[in-house]
Structure 1
Amino acid sequence: MRLFVGLGNPGGKYAENRHNIGFMAVERIADDYGFAPWRSKFQGKVSEGTLGHEKVILLKPETFMNLSGQSVGEAMRFYKLTPADVVVFHDELDLVPGKVRVKTGGGHAGHNGLRSIHQHIGADYDRVRMGIGHPGHKDRVAGYVLSDFAKAEQNWLDDVLRGSSDGAAALASGDGGKFSNAVAMRVAPPRPSTGKKTPDTTTAPKKDTQKDDPRSAMEKLRDKFKS
């Protein structure tokens, strides 16, 4: 069994915020794979379903971001899981928009949701770091993460969410590489072939079949007048 946690803040006011991309990811998974309706439990919203051969619990803490660990810890203890069974989807300032990276363990890098989870279950859980970019100065971070995604960002955002859903079964089975490839196929799909043939440079150059005339230029001119 795996516990997929999406981080965000509850309520319509925050629904489209950059800080809520974790909520958006688990909601897309629930919709695409026909998970059970969301219900209130563990100080959050829970939905259950299956990804591949793994039973997966989706959790959206409703404690607000700074207290996310309370909800995660409660759910983990109820299902008798370890931190290694937990995957947290969250926004990442240090990655450019559209970049997604899977990471196990490490610090919280100042992310308040991760900081709270560290306090309740430790650091040895998996994270899906979903890049939203940085506003350029630390004083602008709070306003930036609590503002909605711009219209111009909707295309890459949709690609990231679709890719995360595509790779969800691989992530549930512990294959972070395959999950990352699924996201990349949405965000940066391979370019189609143009159909142009590559010139064959392996063919040997044609030999000059005309034999060289060993006579000097003067001899050739003299022979010409003789005729």
Structure 2
Amino acid sequence: MYIVVGLGNPGKEYEKTRHNVGFEVIDSLSKKLDIAVNKIKFKSLIGEGIYKGEKIVLQKPQTFMNSSGEAVYDIVDFYKLPLSNLIVVYDDKDLDVGKIRVRKKGSAGGHNGMKSIIYILNSEDFPRVRLGIGKPKGDMIQHVLGKFEGRDMDIVANSIDNAANAVLDIIENGVEHAMNLYNGNNICLS
């Protein structure tokens, strides 16, 4: 069994913002796997299905970014899930727009949603897929809560699909395989 958590903020005003790419990856997985993410449980919207014989739960915490750990803890505790089967997908301001980075474990890297999850789980030993949103040119909050524009919109649309594929690769072939396949590839459009 795997739980795939996409980080974001609930509410129309946050849709399509840089900080919500985790939610968009869950939406992409929802389409690819034909799993409706519409049940309210564990302070989240969730959907359950099967992929390659594995039970998959897709989760979009509704606690707001800075409290993501509450929702993640609730579902991990309920299923008694080993943290190696928890995959968290989120935005990363330190990666170029559209770049994907898969990691087996690691620190929060300044991301408040990840800080919350690591703090509440008391561990940073779980896989994650980070999607680059680029460095802010001004205010950090305005950057992460702002929307992609111009060419970046196309780049990110491709990267969301690739990040969803990276998640499926982790489930099917393991984290190391996904790291070799997706890390270092900056997905750009010509």
**TM-score with structure 1 setting the length:** 0.76
Equivalent-residue separation in structure 2 for 1:153 and 1:143 (angstroms): 16
Which has the bigger relative contact order, CA under 8 A and spacing at least 6?
2
* Paired residues for 1:160-179 under 5 Å: 160-179=159-178
Mapped pair 1:61 → 2:57? no
The secondary structure found in structure 2 opposite 1:40 is strand
Deviation of the 1:105 alpha carbon: 2.0
For 2:168 and 2:9, locate their aligned partners in 1 and report how far apart those are by CA, in whole Å.
25
RMSD: 2.3
Native 8 Å contact 2:9 2:20 kept in 1: yes
Equivalent-residue separation in structure 2 for 1:166 and 1:61 (angstroms): 21
For residue 113 of structure 1, what is the amino acid of its counterpart? G
* Higher Rg: 1
The more displaced of 102-111 and 114-123 is 102-111
Q: Deviations over 1:189-211 (max 9, x none)?
A: 9x9xxxxxxxxxxxxxxxxxxxx
CA deviations on 1:171-193 (whole Å, 9 max, x unpaired) are 2135235445369889369x9xx
Note the 1:1-227 alignment, pairs <5 A: 1-121=1-121, 122-136=123-137, 140-179=139-178, 181=181, 187=187
CA shift, 1:14, in A, is 0.0
Uncovered stretches (5+) of structure 1, i.e. residues with no partner: 192-227
* Residue in structure 2 matched with residue 194 of structure 1 by the alignment: none
What is the CA–CA distance in structure 2 between the aligned matches of 1:184 and 1:158, rounded to whole Å?
Answer: 18
TM-score of the superposed pair, with normalisation by structure 2: 0.90
User: Which structure 2 residue ranges, 5 or more long, are not aligned?
Assistant: none
Letter in 2 for 1:156: I
Shift of 1:142: 1.1
Calculate percent identity across the aligned residue pairs: 32
Structure 2 SS opposite 1:173: helix
In 2, the alpha carbon distance for the partners of 1:173 and 1:92 equals 24
Match of 1:200 in 2: none
